Structure 1
Amino acid sequence: MKRLSDHTDVQLTELFTLGDIDAFEEIYNRYWLKLYSAAYKRIKERATAQEIVQDFFTSFWINREQVKIQTSLQGYLFTSIKYLVLNYKRAQAVRNSYAEILLMVNNSFDNSTEENYNYKELLERVETEVNQLPPKCRNVFELSRKQYKTNKEIAQLMGISEKTVENHLTKALRYLRVNLNSLLLLTFLFLRR
């Protein structure tokens, strides 16, 4: 391994874009902890922060020929991590929203026969609405909500980007929220009588 610790970020960037693995390792060693700290500060989950930074560096190396660093290397790295964290938080918010709806529905029913029947009817209606989604959107939604796959896993399974996965989930949840809102309202009003 070449000794690159005395190289500037600009020099490392030039070597990196030419495919120099030693330059990549120096960038990794120089910035990993700082990037992890930045991610951890925003999400407060060690494993998730580590995963985000590791995934970033993997993608950074794989896509090195397409990487265009317009500003400083440090600025590029921190901006990339910031957006990855924001994407993670957005995906978590969608998951949490869905979980809250299910929890509200589950908590609103006890074990009485009538309520069990209504609950089954509601689940059937949710399933009917899910089946109305476009095929790719429905597939992404079911992988996420029924098989508990992460956005990254879904992207790899379907051969699409994580951003596309997020877009499909957002679209699906928006559709379900609009189409099931009236049903949930009626269900809650019925249960209060």
Structure 2
Amino acid sequence: MKNYTQLSDTELVALLKSEDNSGAFREIYNRYWGELYNTAYKRLKSYEIAEELVQDLFADLWLRRGSLNITTLLKAYLFGAMRYLIIKQIHLEMSESEYQIIAAMNNIIIDNSTEETIFVNDLYNRLQVQMDNLPTRCREVFDLSRNKHRTNKEIAHSLGITEKTVENQITRALRYLKTTLRSFLF
């Protein structure tokens, strides 16, 4: 039986790719799962989601082991993949919170009960208060995007900023609103 702990990352990847070597895979997992987990947790602040992302990453690594084309260092490859998964998760969470607000408003509009009407009005008022707490430029960009339905390109042109800055301001606003309204929605 091989002592995989003595092998370099390059040797482990070669064994994993050419021989479907589960021992090589286990060693790669043992070397990097802790760092990957910590990275995911620092960004997402959720033990469960961090663990799930690490498991997804390694499951994908095992499933694609025969076709792996790692041209950089293994560590760089794994952390690049984790970065992508974290970004994907953040976008998913932002989309879900937007969806929950819209769904709550749609459900209330369909059922015009007094309690739900009060809830919608309260939600709208809280949203307005939280939007007022955003920095001026961030609030302006968010308002143009969500209330006036302008594209990022139109917003960038009218405010004299880059599209990337527009995206960053919208992301910042959504993250802030999601955080501040989460307790109210749940």
Shorter-chain TM-score tier = 0.5 to 0.7
Q: Aligned letter for 2:91?
A: R
Distance 1:82 1:34 in 2: 12
Q: Find the aligned partners of 1:54 and 1:106 in 2 and give their Cα distance.
A: 36
Are residue 77 (structure 1) and residue 87 (structure 2) matched?
A: no
Deviation by residue 1:150-185 (Cα, 9 ceiling, x = unmatched): xxxxxxxxxxxxxxxxxxxxxxxxxxxx8xxxxxxx
Alignment of 1:25-104 (within 5 A): 25-104=26-105
Matched positions, count: 119
Q: Deviation per CA, 1:37-81: give whole Å up to 9, x if none.
A: 111111010001001101111111011112210100000000001
Unaligned runs of 5+ in 2: 118-148, 150-186
Shift of 1:22: 0.7
Query: Partner residue of 1:111?
Result: 113
Deviation at 1:102, TM superposition (A): 2.4
Across the aligned residues of Structure 1 and Structure 2, the Cα RMSD in angstroms comes to 3.0
Higher helix share: 2
Shift of 1:111: 2.0
The superposition leaves residues 68-103 of structure 1 with CA deviations (integer Å, 9 ceiling, x where unpaired) of 101000000000011011111111111111111123
Displacement of 1:110 in angstroms is 5.7
Distance 1:100 1:51 in 2: 26
1:8 paired with 2:25, answer no
1:67 and 1:75 map into 2 onto residues whose CA distance is: 14
